Homo-oligomer: A and B are copies of this chain.
Amino acid sequence: LITIAIIGMGMIGTSLGMALRNADEPGSRLGPLQISGFDRDRSSLNTARGRLAIDRVATSLADAVAGAQIVVLAVPVLAMRELLGELAALLPAGTIVTDVCSTKAQVMGWARELLPTTVDFVGGHPMAGRERSGPDAADPELLREAIYCLTVTPHTRPQAIEAVEAMVEAAGAKPYYIDAEEHDSYVAGVSHLPFLLSAALVDVASQGSAWREMQALAASGFRDVTRLASGSPEMHRDICMTNRAALRHWIARTVSLLDEVGAQLDAEDSAAIEALFRRAYERREEWLAAKPNMRPGEDAFLGGAPEVQRPSLFGFGPRKKK
C-alpha cells in the first residue's frame, strides 16, 4: 500500500487526489493507494474530503507526511520555499517529494537548497488548468491525457523518478521530461504570456472612458481571448515573479511585433499585415492538426526520458494482471 500525501487542497491538488482515487488499480504500477491530505484552510480540506479527493484528513503537516512515500506539494509557488523549509525536518530518508508549480527552475533551486540529500525531489507541472481555483473547481478529468512536465537532476534517484512517473500515469496524464530552464522559457511563451495578454486586453479595454458602451459590444471573441484573465491574480503574480527573465523575453518580442504592426498601419502596408495574419493562421492550424495525432507527450517521453531502472524502490515493476 503506497501512501501519497497531498499538501494543498486547491484546484490542482484536489483534482489530482480525485484522479488518483479513481485510478484503475490493477492497471497502475503503483498498486493500491492511500491518500492523505492537508491544507491550512480547514474548509478547503473538508471540501476535498467531501469530494473524495483524499482518504484521510491530516491534522497537521507532520501528520500528513507521516508514513507517506510520496509527498505532493500543491501550493502556490511563492509558498513553496517556506513549505520546503518546514518539511526538511519532517521527512524520513527515501521520501519522494514532487510539486505542481507552474515554474520549475526556482522551485528546483529551493528544493536543492532546503531538502536533505536523503530526500528526492522531482519537479512536476501538469499542463492543464482552469481559470477557477479552489477545491470546488477541481475536476477528476482535468489531468486526463494532459502533458505532465517532470524535471529531474543528474542526482535524482531513478526510483524516485519512476515513482512520480507512475503516479502521473495513474492520474491519467502523460509524463514529459524536460530541463527546468527550458520548461520555464517554453511555458512563459505558451502559458504565462497568453495570461498576460489576456489580462492586458481586459485592462486596456476597461480603463478607457467608453468602457460602459464597449461592454455591450464585446462578444464571444473578447470572452475567449480574455478567459485566462479570470484566473487567480495571486497565483499569476507568483508565476510571473518566479519566471521574470523568460517572461521579459516574450514581452519584448510581443511589444516589438505590435510596434511593427503599428508602423505597417501608418504606412498602409496591407500586404505586411496580411502576411502576419496568414502566418499566425497557418501556424495555429498546424498546431491544432499536429496536437492530437503526434501525441506529443508520449513522443517526447520515448525520446527524452532518462533511463529508469526497474524494479524500483517500492518493488513495482512492469504492469501485472492481478
Contact = CB atoms under 8 A, between A and B. Distances in A.
Contacts of A213: 178, 182, 186, 300
A205 to B, nearest CB: 5
Given A186-B217, A226-B284, A251-B258, A203 B129 contact: no
Instruction: List the number of copies, as a whole number.
Output: 2
A284 B224 contact: no
Contacts of A284: 202, 226, 229-230
A92 interface: no
Contacts of A129: 219-221
A90 interface: no
Interface string A247-278: 11011111101110110011010100110111
Contacts of A206: 279-280, 283, 287
A127 interface: yes
24 contacts: A127-B217, A146-B219, A189-B210, A189-B214, A190-B218, A190-B221, A191-B218, A195-B221, A199-B277, A200-B258, A202-B280, A202-B287, A203-B257, A204-B250, A204-B254, A215-B296, A216-B297, A218-B287, A230-B288, A233-B280, A234-B274, A240-B270, A244-B266, A255-B258
Interface of A: 127-129, 146-147, 149, 176, 178, 182-183, 185-187, 189-191, 193-208, 210-211, 213-234, 236-238, 240-241, 244, 247-248, 250-255, 257-259, 261-262, 265-266, 268, 270, 273-274, 276-281, 283-285, 287-288, 290-291, 294, 296-297, 299-300
